[in-house]
Structures are given as C-alpha cells and as structure tokens.
Structure 1
Amino acid sequence: MGMAASQARFLGLTARKTNVEYEGQQINQQRTTLSNQSANYYNQLLGMEVPVPPSVEDYTKTVYSFTDGALENVVTSLIAQGEGKYLVSYTRSYTDDTAVVSAASSIITRSGEEGNYKYSVGAKELRALGQEPSEEQIKNDEYLSSLTEAQLEKLIAEEKAYKEKLDEKYNGGTASGDTAWQVYYKHDTTAGTYTPVFYKTSDLTKDTTIYSEKTGASQSFIQAYSTGSEVVTDEIKGTEAKLEQDTSGRYINITLYDEEGNATTYALTTQTTTDQDAYNDAMNQYEYDKTSYDKAIEDINNKIEIIQIEDKN
C-alpha cells in the first residue's frame, strides 16, 4: 500500500508539473505573439511617410516678356543650343479692334410666306451679309440709303471680311450654305454711328426656333454678334534667338532674327507669378493626407496600447 500511495503521489506531482509547464508555454506563446504584433505596428509607424506641406516656391516661376511695337510678347519656353543661342517659344498678344464678338440676344420677328420669309429686329429688316442689297432694301434702310455708291461698295467688302471672321470663329472656318449670315445696322444716336449686328441664318430658320402665329415674334431670344475689341494671342514656336544675362544669371536682352537674318534686340522684363490654383489644390491634398496620417498614427497607437495591457495581464 505504501508503494502504491507513493507512486500515486509521484504521478500527481508529475501531472501538476506538466500542467504548469504547459501553462508557461501558453503564456510564452501569447507573449511572443503580442511581441510580434507590437513589432509589426512599430514597423508600420517607421514605414509611414510624414506628409509635407507644399512650398509656394514650387508653384512660382519667373516670366520673361518683351514689347515689339504694339505687341506684348511672353516667353513660354527656352531651350539652350550653346554659345548663347536658344530656341525660343513665346506668345504674342495684341488688340483687334475689328473683331467679331458675341452681343446681346434679341427677339426676331418673322413675316411673309413660307419659302420667302423676312426677318427683322424691331423695324430693322435683316439682309444677307456680304451680298449686294436690292434697291428696295437700300430705299427702306436709313443707313444704306445714306451711302454713296463707292461707300456702299466699301461696305460690302467689309461685310465679306466680317463673314470670314464670323465663319472662322463661330462656324469652324467653313463657308457652306449652313453658315450664311444676316445683318442690320444699329444706330447709336449719341455717337451718330452705325454698328453691324449679325445673326446666323440657321438660328433664324431651324425647327426649334418658334415664332408666334399672331405677331411673328420669336418665342425665345436669338443669339446676336457684333464688332468690338478683342485680345488676340498667337504662339511663335521654336524660333532661334540669342539671350544675354546679367551677373545674377537673369536674362536681360533677347535678340530675334527675321527671314533675312536681320537681328533686332529687345529688353526683357521679368515678373514672378504663382499658380495659386495649383498651390491651393496641393495644400488641400496635404490637409487630406495629414488628416489620414494622424488618424493612422492614432489607430496604431491604440492597438499597441491594447497589446501592452494584454501583456501585463
């Protein structure tokens, strides 16, 4: 009996030891897992890129310009070719005082029979732009009737030039029958002058333009065009030029060559410009990235804190 009791006691102690060892192994495994998780989170923190706010300087550039008579030229590209020579691109701006521009839309009145409609603005009848007016049209128009034969010929030539500009600007440069134009001359009683007002014939005749059966007036306003001033910008690309610099490296003179190789030198002026819209977009992106970064940092720190609490327990 003594031997059996001793053996039972030994087996009990052995089982208890095995239990303790197992629990210890479990605790060690849990701590190892927590340690690995914690290390992973710290590595995530180390691998995160801190957002950097944009610099205004990155969106600021120096713009060079020069004046050629009435033309204002702005340099857009400089490609060095060696020996002080460059391939230069620049925009050239000027004011066209005989440009065609959009004008206030108006109600048009239609009269006559289908196939032979006439259109008018108030009491002013429209006629085909650039075409010789009929005797009746001249007689019924106070402006046309005031012109001499030579003045009328000059007017028709001007109208043809206006039609080319209208077609180029508002009809894609085409001159088909669909791009016919109508015109009347508006009297400025204060200045005593007459200004042409143009309408697309297609705008007057299309199915979506509805006219009152009683009054003949259009049920909607129809787009008009007239003459006026407009800034025109052309781009000159890749022309050869020579540039001079001052001691600071800033360009001060540009020399351009004509087709015969004759050189003309112009003084360059500088202006610093900032692309404010692009900078604002970059700042908005930074604010978004910063918020996302702060949120990610907070989430990781919270997870690490939970791991530390679990490790203590």
Structure 2
Amino acid sequence: MVKQQSYSVPSFVLPDGAGVEDIHIVAYQSTDETVKSRVTLEQNLFSFLLEGEKRVYYAEKHAVISNTQFVLLSSGNCIMSEKRISDDGFYKSVMISFAPAVLTRFFLKYPHIVTAKEYSDKTGEPFLVFDTDSFLQNFVHSLCLMTAGSKTLSMDLRLLKFEELLLYMADCYPQQLLNLRANLAGNHEDVVIRRSAENNLYNNVTIEELAFLCNMSLSTYKRKFQKIYGASPTRWFLQKRMEQAVGMLLVQREKPSEIYHKLGYENHSSFTQSFKQVYGLTPSEYQQQKLTV
C-alpha cells in the first residue's frame, strides 16, 4: 500500500508512551510504501538502509539513498519517500537519532579528534550521504542485534554506539566530521548557552547571572535559550532539577531536607514549592506515596 502522511521522527517509531530522549536507536520495518510524506525530524538522524530505497527532499537539496549507503539528516522539516525493492519485500532501516546537545558534548569530550583544516563549501548542508563499507555493515548488524529484543537499550549503551560511529567517521570521513563541527562553531553562542545551562544545572545561579556570564542581555539569552531547548530557562531548569530530585528521593531514598542544596536551592521551602509545582505533592508526600505502592 502506498501512503502519503505526516509524522515526526523519532516520535513516530517509538513505543507508545515513550518520550523523546537525547539519543534513540530504533529498528524500523514496514510493508507500506510512502510517497512524499511530510516529516518533521525532531532530532538529527543517522539512517542506515537494510532493504528498500529512500528519497529525501529539503528546500535546497534532494537525494536518493540505497541500501548500500547511509545518510545523516539534519533536524527540521523534509519530504520523504520510502519504497520496497520487491513486491514481497520490506522497507527496513536502523536509525540513530540524537539531540544537538549530544553532538556538542562529543566535540567537547574529543576536542582534538580531527585536525584543523579548511572547511569545505558543503558546510551547513541539510544532509550528508555516505557509502557503507564492511566496518559499517558490521556496525549496523550490531545495532540490529541490540534492538532485536524487547528490552530498551540503556542511555549509556546508546551513547557508546553513537561515539563509536563518530570516532570511526573521524578516521574515514574527517572532512564531513569537520563540517559537523563547523556547524557548531558557526553558532558559537549556542555552545556557550549550552555550557552555561548544563554546567550550572545544579548550582545556585539566577537566569540573569547566566545571561551576564554569556555576555548577553537577559531578553537575548532567554530568546536564544528557548530556540535551543524548546523551553524557557526557568521551565527547563525546573524540569531537569525535579527529574533529578525524583531519582534522589526514590532510587537513592534520600530525605528532602538532604537534597535541596544539591539541586541549587537556597532553602528547603523553595525546593518544596518548586517540586509541588511540577508534581502536585510535596517531596515528602511524593516519596511516601511512591515507596508505599
């Protein structure tokens, strides 16, 4: 059956109820063919074709990708067609989707992974196509084995496979990896804002202070932060801190009075107020309710 539809990736291929995380590794299989579906890529995406053919259209470029190639697609909107190579076959692929922050952290972790060269004029292109070699065939096979079971892969394992792929690209496709880094360097303010947020997540600093540290006005910092994370600084810090608080309360079973300062709060009452804003209960009530279920 040939379909034309609209969907978002990776949300479309995730199990029901699963949220979008920093990295996903997903095997996808379908007997349906899609023609010019409108696709919103919520994250950057490595797509490895196992069977079938993919056509990708961005505003300024398009390409046809076969099962002897893999493609790196940038986040955003595109039009995509997928078809089988035989009437009784499947369209099969394995995908690694990743948030921009993951790529940023990779280059921060491996600052000298590629030598400084002049960037090519392909910097900033919406996607890059690569030929699959024997190493990548084995790499994709390992992804298939890992995703074959019903158990969700741990974030550590997903990150390990992502880094394995990029480290291999540094050896075999250094110019393309330089292009990826150039895209980050071309927007240095984004890197500064990410560092300010992630390095101060649990520190007692204000949004005004973070803006000052980034040499930006408060309004500019808020606007750029919203564009990067899809949430205001206040909302993002609140959500991240409360997620950490839940882990400390339920997994580590710490007392609320023992953790507020670890999460960047000056006092217990302000922590309790923030926690109740998100979960509708005080930390003590939440801990008692969840641990007695």
Structure number with the higher helix fraction is: 2
Interval containing the TM-score (normalised by the shorter chain): under 0.3
Larger radius of gyration: 1
**More contact order relative to length (CA 8 Å, sep ≥ 6):** 1
Structure number with the higher strand fraction is: 1
TM-score (norm 1): 0.20
